[in-house]
A = this chain, B = another copy of it.
Amino acid sequence: MATIELKNLWKEYGQEVVLERLNARVEAGEFVTIVGASGCGKTTFLKMLLGTESPSRGELLLDGKPIPAEPDETRGIVFQRYSVLPHLTAERNVMLAGELAANRFLGHAFGEQRRVLKEAARAMLEDVGLGHALDKYPHELSGGMQQRLALAQALIKKPRILLLDEPFGALDPGIRKDMHALVLKLWKEQQLTVFMITHDLDEGFYLGTRLWVFDKDRLDLQAPGAYGARITYDLPVGKDDRGTLDDIASRVDTTARALG
């Protein structure tokens, strides 16, 4: 199980400060939802957790050690789009992680090993409600089904940390609710540590055990890049009333208008 620590974390692109002075500690098994105006650095933060971006200053620690500087199997991810491999059927997408581990050179599994992987993949796909679409290619699936598939693909590898970047942004409201239920179920079953970015404050409140709001508390309208966003709210979810929610919403909107 993973503990993640942010110690005075900064991220800058050239002159532009994206994130500044982030300090926090996340215990194993927490479900952190992240909201904030568009362009305020949520995805950038997730990329640092993933290892594709590195901090400009400060430290990002996993179990006390700097987090590996490239993606690996400890951290699973589901993006808003492009999250499954278009050239593989649903079943093969989910078998992939096992196949890669089975043979370091060919990345394919054979015989008995293959049968086992197949079985596990089928069970997983049943779990996310895609039992009837095993042989379909992603382009034959609707947006919601593709995101379920992405979840199944990520979770079968049993990552310690699951990163979700607006995974449901493109879905119908109803289908979204089903996905919430699915994510909560899987989170509980697999005891994951989850970071999930969302545009929808309600979603953030409903899903997480902890809600982070990224926002620029200093904002120079002439030079929006002069100051970075910080974690302006860090709320244990469930303990707050509608008032806080509305307050957060209006602050985030102000920033969004200024940036947009």
Contacts and interface: CB of A to CB of B under 8 A. Distances in A.
A253 interface: yes
B253 A143 contact: no
Interface string A80-113: 0000000000000000000000000000000000
Contacts of A144: 260
A37 B260 contact: no
B200 A254 contact: no
Contacts of A252: 174
A174 B249 contact: yes
Interface residues of A, number: 24
* Most chain B CB atoms below 10 A, which of A142, A143, A173, A250: A173
A256 interface: yes
Contacts of A249: 173-174
* Most chain B CB atoms below 10 A, which of A38, A174, A253: A174
A218 interface: no
B172 A37 contact: yes
Interface string A228-260: 000000000000000000000110111011011
Contacts of A177: 253
Interface in A112-169: 142-145
A175 interface: yes
A145 B253 CA distance: 15
Nearest to A174: B253
Contacts of A189: none
Contact of A172 (B143, B172, B178, B260): B260
A257 B173 contact: no
Contacts of A17: none
A201 interface: yes
A201 B177 CA distance: 15
B200 A256 contact: no
A35 B201 CA distance: 22
Contacts of A172: 37-38, 199, 253, 256, 260
Nearest to A251: B174
A249 B174 CA distance: 8
B173 A253 contact: yes
Contacts of A253: 172-175, 177
Q: Which 4 A-B pairs have the closest CB atoms?
A: A174-B253, A142-B260, A172-B256, A174-B256
